[in-house]
Amino acid sequence: MINGGIDMNFDVKEAADNYAEHVFCQSNTDCDIVKILKKDAHKRIYHDMLINPDEYKPKPQLLFVEPWNGKKPTSPLDFLKNKNVVLPSLPQTLIQIKRVINDPESTVNDLAAVISNDPKLVASLLRLANSDIYKYKYTIDTPSKAVAVMGFKKAGLLALGTVSLSMFKKSQVAVLELEKFWKHSIACGIIAQEIARAANLGDPEHFFVSGLLHDIGLHVIFESEKSLAVELLRVAETKQLSFYDAEAEILGFNHAVLGGVLSEDWELPQTLVRAAAGHHDPEIIKVDLEAAVVHVADYVGRALGYELGLSIIIGDLDRNALKNIGISPDQFEELLPKIKLLIDETFKILNP
Ligand SMILES: [Fe+2]
C-alpha cells in the first residue's frame, strides 16, 4: 500500500524477513529442501503478519506459575516416577483396541464393536476416514464400514492414534497451547504419511499415526511440571536455543526420549515407540526409518508454521534422515503444495 509515497508494507516486509531468518537460524541452508522451505516461509510469514500482526507480538509472561525448584530428574524414568507427574490414565477403549488388534483371532466385527462403544472415538474416526487424507469413493458412516473399507490393520491403528491423542486435555493452567499441540500433531501425521507415500516406504497410514503421537512426551512435561516448562521456555528464549536443545541443557534428555519411555509403558506398537523416542536423535534417525520420517515431518511442519509456540527456532533438518528416507529435493518440491492443501482441508473437516 502506498501512502504519501511511503510503502506502508515496507516495515512488515522487513519484520517478516527478520522473523523468517530467525526461524531458520540454526538450519543449514546448503540443503535444497531447507532452501525450499525457507523461501516458502518468507512468503507465508509476510502474508500472515499483514493479517494477524498480534500473533507475532511478544507473549506476556506466565506470572501465575511458581519458579522452578531446580531439582533435575536423573533420567526419564525418574521424571515419570516423580509425584508431580500426571500421566493421562489409559482409557478402557485404548486397552480394548490394543487387545483386539494384538489378538490374531480378532475379527472385523470385534474391532467395530470396540470402536462403537466410544461415541467420541466414532465421531473422530469417521471424520478422519472421510477426510482427504484417505480418498475413499464411499461415505464412511459407521464404524463397521470404516473397518471394512479401511481394513482391520489401518482402522485399528487409526483408532489407537485417535484415542491416544484425545487423552491430552486442556488443563486449567495451560503453558502449552493445546490447539497448537493438536495442529502440530495432525500436520506432522499428514506430512509423515505423504513423505512415506512419495518415497514408497509402504503403509503410509502407519507413518500418519507415528507423526500424530510423536510429541506426547512434550505434553507430559508441560502438564506435569509447569514450572520446569516455563524455565525451559525461558532458557530457550534467553539463550536462543531450539526447545529440545534447552531440554538437553537443563534435563539431560528431551521430550522425545520421555515420549518413548511413556509409549513403551503404554505398550503401543514398537514402530510408534521408536518414532517418538528417536525423532530428535541423530544416531537413531540414521538407521530407523520411522524416526527419520517423523524427524523430517516435524521439521517441515514447524517450517510451515505448525509450531508449538515454544521456540520459533526450528533447529536443523538432519541430512542423514533425508538419506535414510531417499527423498529428493525435486520430489519434495512437488509434494509440498499437496501437503499444504491436505493439512488445510483436514483442519477444516476435523475442526469445523
Ligand atoms: Fe519433538
Domain boundaries, the chain: 58-88+174-350, 90-167
* Plot region of 252 (φ>0 → left; ψ -120 to 50 → alpha; else → beta): left
Ligand 1 centre and the CA of 312: distance in Å? Answer: 14
Give per-residue pLDDT as tens, 133-168.
Answer: 777 777 888 888 888 888 888 888 888 887 777 766
Ligand 1 centre and the CA of 42: distance in Å? Answer: 23
Give per-residue pLDDT as tens, 93-132.
Answer: 878 888 888 888 999 889 998 888 887 788 778 888 887 7
Ligand 1 centre and the CA of 94: distance in Å? Answer: 23
Q: CB-based contacts of 96: which residues, under 8 Å, 6+ apart?
A: 114, 117
The parts of the chain modelled with pLDDT lower than 50 are: 1-8, 352
Give the per-residue pLDDT at 63.
57
Give the per-residue pLDDT at 28.
93
Strand partners, 2: 7
The residue whose grid cell reads 503401543 is 268
Give the per-residue pLDDT at 62.
59
Give the per-residue pLDDT at 1.
41
Ligand 1 centre and the CA of 279: distance in Å? Answer: 7
If one looks up domain 58-88+174-350 in CATH, what number appears?
Answer: 1.10.3210.10
Residues 219 and 176: beta-carbon distance below 8 Å: yes
| Residue 249 one-letter amino acid | E
Give the per-residue pLDDT at 119.
76
Cα 147 to Cα 134: distance, rounded to the nearest angstrom:
13
Ligand 1 centre and the CA of 21: distance in Å? Answer: 21
Cα 157 to Cα 252: distance, rounded to the nearest angstrom:
32
Q: Where are the alpha helices (DSSP H) in the chain?
A: 10-23, 32-51, 76-81, 92-102, 108-116, 119-129, 143-150, 152-166, 178-198, 204-213, 216-224, 226-238, 243-251, 255-265, 270-278, 282-287, 289-303, 319-325, 329-350
Residues 241 and 311: beta-carbon distance below 8 Å: yes
Ligand 1 centre and the CA of 8: distance in Å? Answer: 38
* CB atoms inside a 10 Å sphere around CB 127: 16
First to last CA, the chain: 33
* Residue 224 CA to its chain's centroid (Å): 19
Ligand 1 centre and the CA of 108: distance in Å? Answer: 34
Cα 164 to Cα 93: distance, rounded to the nearest angstrom:
10
SS3 304: coil
Ligand 1 centre and the CA of 185: distance in Å? Answer: 10
Cα 144 to Cα 148: distance, rounded to the nearest angstrom:
6
Residues with Cβ–ion distance below 5 A, ligand 1: 215
Residues 294 and 194: beta-carbon distance below 8 Å: no
For CA atoms 340, 32, 56, 171, give the dihedral sign. positive
Cα 109 to Cα 114: distance, rounded to the nearest angstrom:
9
